[in-house]
Structure 1
Amino acid sequence: MKLSIIIVSWNVREDLLRCMRSIKENEPSCDFEVIIVDNASTDDTVNMIKKSFSEVKLITNQQNRGFAAANNQAIELSQGEYVLLLNPDTILHPKSLDILVKFMDSNEDMGACGPKLLNADGSTQDSVRRFPSFRGALHRHTVFKFVGIFKGEYRKWVMYDFKNDKQRDVDQVMGAALMVKRSVTEQVGLMDERFFMYYEEVDLCYRIKQAGWRIVFIPEAVITHIGGGSSGQIPVSKRIMAMTSLLKFFRKHRGKFATRLFSCVFKPAVILRDLMNIVLSTIKYIFATATLDRKGRKKTAENIKNSVILIWRYCSRFRLLKM
């Protein structure tokens, strides 16, 4: 078999239904299979798949095992020469799969590749990055962002000036649509299940590059990535999981000692950012109240609430120094 399409779902029934319909409408010309791993959804996802897409191989977990572990379950079951890790909140465009497969077939030194991703409104979505750096992370997640410190490092990390119209070797492509050669996963290993969510594909891409394989962005293949889906339901937890996984990545690939030193700056700087957000949001809340702006008052109240929750978790359960 040439291609295995793997989708992990968690309470995204409608997104998954739309994704599966797009696969049906844009099937690749090669032989392929679809494997769905459901992480204990409670929105009738499993019944929908059984009823509407009986040909799909379905794995139903009794608990949410996380993105990496669920993908590994499917990879181990799959038979394709290439494995496409696909988010449920994606929509395939015509010939997108054929283009990716053809490119992999034509380049023996290719370890992985990814398509151009579009937002729901048709605009281009940022889908490639360099591997993260300490300074870029400080700008992204902490009070450093308010004063512009390490802005250049952050822009370098996210490839701010990247042109999405040409094929190009990159460090990583977004895990929303990541095609990997099976023989490469056999060499470098599957996804690291210590990453419950976020940075698991960054870690995989890092190991692929370290092993000498190329990772290429293929703009001729186009997939719409709606975004939001599973992770968007819990924004506070989403941010905490993202930072936790980022630090795990640093500890694994930048060294334990260096990451501990980084954490000594990172944690208080994160707290300072949210303290500043509370102050600024409080001022906005007072202004919104005075001007009878109910919508603005509600939004700023939510911002204050989220920052308070985040600070509480940093100081209690979010253990940045011991990972």
Structure 2
Amino acid sequence: MEISIVVVNRNSKSFVDKLIGSLKNSCSDFYACKEIIIVDNGSTDGSLEIYRSYAKNINEPEIKVVPLGRNTGFCYATNIGVRLARSELVAILNPDLYVDADWLRPIMEDFEKMPRLGVVQPLIYWYQKPEEIQATGLYMDLAGNYRANVFGSKTLLAPFGAAYVVRRSAFLEIGGLDPFYFMYHDEVDMGLRMWLAGGLVMLEPKSRVYHYMGGVTPQAPYIKFLKVMLARRNQIFTLVKALSIAWLFVSLFLLSLVNIIRMIKSKEMVRPIISAYYDIIRNIRHIALQRQMFSKKRKLNE
């Protein structure tokens, strides 16, 4: 089995050298790693030029740079990278991380042993504190809130979005990441769709990567609003798209109560949460179409 690595870049200049150095190390020690694909979302900080320089000077593994010219969102850019990949296994990485030299080997062994396996997440540690665990995977409660895998179970609903490996054929079969999400909650939606289509999602604790968390996310006030709005909107979208009618009513009722409590506790939450519901109503036709398309692919119930 071979593996391709896809990195979606957006203004990550300060992280490029450590990321590429660690990926080159891991690929040189592991023959099955054939290519690194950098999909650039309109970077303006010089990181695109640095990646291009690496692509010219490194032959093994091959580095391909795909400039999109604008910020298309993490989901759209990821799908571009996965479609361009030549391997059946594809690692999807954020740009603000680095990896252990042997991080790919246990993951690839998992895929070889389990034909139904669709997604594997490595154990993710903090970039700044490499001895502390940051993420072990995600679950979702009845209200659609995603929760950390605090018990360290190897079976997950979804990977934490900073780093995971997919079986390309299964990923594309369920439609990849949904570009409507732009960013946030996309991995939960993908993991849920993978499960309901008959695939498996798991954690591989023998594989380690180190993630900065928010290292390339701007901190402007509008970005804070956008983060809350997209997270709440995408949460609702995931429920409407994937759940059966009975579970959907229960989840939406509970989620609405949670959102009301959020708005009562913090005035800053009022505008982004109301905007999230408005955007759902505005895009109801698109959501209904997505629900119909997914219902044809699902093989399991909740």
Q: Same fold (TM over 0.5)?
A: yes
User: Relative to 1, partners in 2 of residues 1:317 and 1:220: Cα closer, same or farther, differing over 3 Å?
Assistant: closer
Asked if 1:14 is matched to 2:14, the reply is yes
Matched, 1:58 2:50: no
- Secondary structure in 2 aligned to 1:80? coil
The letter for the 2-side match of 1:104 is F
Q: Which residue of 1 aligns with 2:257?
A: 265
Aligned partner (choices 176, 179, 188) of residue 190 of structure 1: 176
Contact 1:117-1:222 within 8 A present in 2 as well: yes
Matched, 1:213 2:223: no
Distance in 2 (CA, whole Å) between partners of 1:39 and 1:202 is: 22
Partner of 1:302 in structure 2? none
Secondary structure of residue in 2 paired with 1:37 = strand
2:180 aligned counterpart, secondary structure: coil
Describe the SS at the equivalent of 1:172.
coil
Per-residue CA distance 1:149-171 (angstroms, 9 max, x = gap):
xxxxx8xx3333x13xxx72221
Deviation at 1:270, TM superposition (A): 2.6
Instruction: Find out whether 1:241 has 2:230 as its counterpart.
Output: yes
* 1:297-316 equivalence runs, <5 A: 307=268, 310-314=269-273
Same amino acid, percent of matched pairs: 24
The answer to whether residue 117 in structure 2 is matched with residue 114 in structure 1 is: no
- Structure 2 gaps of 5+ residues are 57-61, 284-302
Pair 1:101-2:96 in alignment: no
Equivalent residues in 2 for 1:41-56 (5 A)? 41-54=43-56, 55-56=62-63
Aligned to 1:296: none
Q: 1:210 to 1:321 in 2, by over 3 A?
A: closer
Say which SS state the counterpart of residue 179 (structure 2) adopts: coil
- Residues 118 and 194 in structure 2, CA contact (< 8 A), matched pair in contact too: yes
Do the aligned partners of 2:7 and 2:94 also contact (CA within 8 Å) in 1? yes
What is the Cα-based RMSD across aligned positions, in Å? 2.4
Residues 131 and 37 of structure 1: is their aligned pair in 2 closer, same or farther, counting only changes over 3 Å?
same
Query: Which ranges in structure 1 are unaligned for 5 or more consecutive residues?
Result: 138-153, 276-306
Q: CA deviation at 1:260?
A: 5.9
Q: Does 1:38 align with 2:30?
A: no
2:300 matched residue in structure 1: none
Cα 1:263–1:213 change in 2 (3 A) is closer
Deviation at 1:264, TM superposition (A): 4.7
Contact 1:118-1:225 at 8 Å conserved across structures: yes
Q: Is contact 1:129-1:159 (8 Å) kept?
A: yes
- Aligned to 1:268, what secondary structure does the other structure show? helix
Contact 2:39 2:77 in 1 (8 A): yes
Q: Secondary structure at the match of 2:278?
A: coil
8 Å contact from structure 1 (residues 93, 223) kept in 2: yes
Residue of 99, 109, 117 corresponding to 1:92:
99
Q: Is the 8 A contact 2:122 2:208 kept in 1?
A: yes
Kindly report which structure 2 residues correspond to 1:116-135, keeping only aligned pairs within 5 A, or say none: 116-119=123-126, 120-121=128-129, 122-134=131-143
1:247–1:320 Cα contact (<8 Å) kept: no
Distance 1:205 1:312 in 2: 29
Is 2:6–2:81's contact at 8 Å kept on the other side of the alignment?
A: yes
User: Does 1:70 pair with 2:77?
Assistant: yes
Offset of residue 74 of structure 1:
0.9
For 1:298, the equivalent position in structure 2 comes to: none
SS at match of 1:168: coil
Cα distance in 1, alignment partners of residues 163 and 272 from structure 2 = 32
Contact 1:263 1:320 in 2 (8 A): no
Cα distance, 1:262 vs structure 2: 5.2
TM-score w.r.t. the length of structure 2 is 0.80
Aligned AA for 2:148?
Answer: V
- Residue 278 of structure 2 is matched in structure 1 by 319
Q: Take 2:274 and 2:168, find their aligned partners in 1: how far apart are those partners? A: 42
| Shift in Å, 1:243 | 1.6
Give structure 1 regions of 4+ aligned residues with deviation exceeding 6 angstroms.
none
Instruction: Identify if the C-alpha distance between structure 1 residues 255 and 98 changes in structure 2 by more than 3 Å, giving closer, same or farther.
Output: same
Which residue in the other structure is 1:29 paired with? 31
